[in-house]
Amino acid sequence: MKKGFCNMFKFRLPMIIAACLLLSITISINPIFGDNGTDNNDDTYKSLKLFTDVLEELEQNYVDDVNSEELIHNAIKGMVGNLDPHSSFMPPEAFDELQDDTKGEFSGIGIVITMKEKILTVVSPIEGTPAYKAGIQAGDIIIKIDGKSTRDMALWEAVNMMRGPRHEVVMITVIRKGEAEPLEVSLKRDLIPMESVRSAILTPGYGYLRITNFRMSTIDDIKEHLKKLELENNILKGLVMDLRDNPGGLLDQAVKISDLFLDHGNIVSIKGRQPGNTQVFKAFPDDEDRKYPIVVLINGGSASASEIVAGALQDHSRALILGTTSFGKGSVQTVRPLKEGFGIKYTIARYYTPNGRSIQAKGIVPDIEVEYEILAAKEEKKSIFDTMIKEKDLKNSLEPENTKQIKKPEQPDNKSKKNPRRLDSDQLVHDVQIKRALDILISYGVFSKLNAN
């Protein structure tokens, strides 16, 4: 059954925030203290000597007194930050914020941001948050926060300024394509919920599972929602898994979620320069029998861990992927604490789907391409998330590798929730991508009965 769904259709299926950072795939948090025991070559010593010469020159002769510690920290920040868009050196307050992003909740305005050519840019607003309600859009360039210019501002600094006590106001100034003048938007901070899973019954027998990010408890939440869907429907005939606008999160959650629907083979492999940063994650049989067909929805906001799930299910012919091409973040980061509360996040590996595809700067290509559209509101054809920047647009983005891509077949969110745990199915079926996914699942059920006779 796992392969029959896709083969039936002849598809060839071989990867938050006051502001919330585009979440990296974090595989370890280990301390770094002292010397690593390796010998530096002569060129490294010469460069370090140059660094100390410059530092000494500035300390002695710069027009004003300089803070040597601050100069060194800035130098480290530049060294790490220029490696790729997802590597950074973090002071204690930024390191603490990163840890909070994978658990609990925080008070902020609710946007995902990144740096594009050193410009603070909105990747997406988070549904239901102050930024979302105020009309902040993907692609908006934030030039000021509370009157302070964001030029040369570090990403963590912007996050810090936009987070704060609940109900207090923060003013952001944005430049938007098509607007002649900058827009000033006053936003009252509120709690940004970390609930990552919601569900609904689209029609009897067919479930809908929405995953907004991958946090520490996501796998447990998914099991709870699936259990409810399976019990309420007696026999679940099909599932629509919505990974649209999901910026990613924790690697282990992506692996465990994929393993819910796979019983053998690779889920994802990571390959780094060091042997210790190379690993293969495999699927194992599960006690629960989840053989129902699945359609996974993705778009340009589906990144990182969500691309791992989509890629694994696609390569195993376990799900049909529908929507638009994903973000294309195919790299793995590790987070390491340093002395005195500092931390460093840096890229250690690329990841590969079960068929050996690297999606770095390429993205997951859907089996069926369907643009976002709301029925009865056709003038809003494209989601703002499908116009957002992608991994390949980021400065110093890792180059894609020449691995084979699956050729897609040539075929042509505004979701209202009644409560934190269940969605309004009447609203969902007005979403063209969800409706198309549901039609495919129902059609598969019809053809399966015909073949059985």
Q: Which of 116, 22, 137 is nearest to 383 (CA)?
A: 137
**What DSSP designation does 244 have?**
T
Helix, strand, coil in percent for the chain, rounding step 5: 30, 25, 45
Other beta carbons within 10 angstroms of residue 256's beta carbon come to: 19
Cα torsion 173, 176, 182, 186: sign: negative
Q: Which of 315, 367, 386, 413 is catalytic?
A: 315
Q: Which of 88, 302, 304, 358 is catalytic?
A: 304
Task: Let me know: does 173 contact 182? Beta carbons within 8 Å.
Answer: yes
User: Is 286 part of the annotated catalytic residue set?
Assistant: no
Tokens standing for residue 257? 């979620």
Task: Let me know: does 218 contact 211? Beta carbons within 8 Å.
Answer: yes
Q: How far apart are CA 77 and CA 235, in angstroms?
A: 54
Task: Let me know: does 109 contact 19? Beta carbons within 8 Å.
Answer: yes
Q: Which of 2, 329, 362, 415 is catalytic?
A: 329
User: Is 416 part of the annotated catalytic residue set?
Assistant: no
Name every residue whose Cβ is closer than 8 Å to that of residue 81 and which is 6 or more positions away in sequence.
87, 88, 89, 154
Name every residue whose Cβ is closer than 8 Å to that of residue 406 and which is 6 or more positions away in sequence.
12, 13, 14, 314, 355, 357, 365
Long-range contacts of range 102-105, CB-CB < 8 Å, 24 or more positions apart? 102/23, 102/26, 102/215, 102/216, 102/249, 102/250, 103/194, 103/215, 103/216, 103/217, 104/194, 105/191, 105/192, 105/193, 105/194
Task: Let me know: does 71 contact 55? Beta carbons within 8 Å.
Answer: yes
Range list of H helices, 293-431: 305-315, 425-428
User: Is 152 part of the annotated catalytic residue set?
Assistant: no
Q: How far apart are CA 248 and CA 225, in angstroms?
A: 19
Name every residue whose Cβ is closer than 8 Å to that of residue 232 and which is 6 or more positions away in sequence.
201
Residues annotated as catalytic are 304, 315, 329
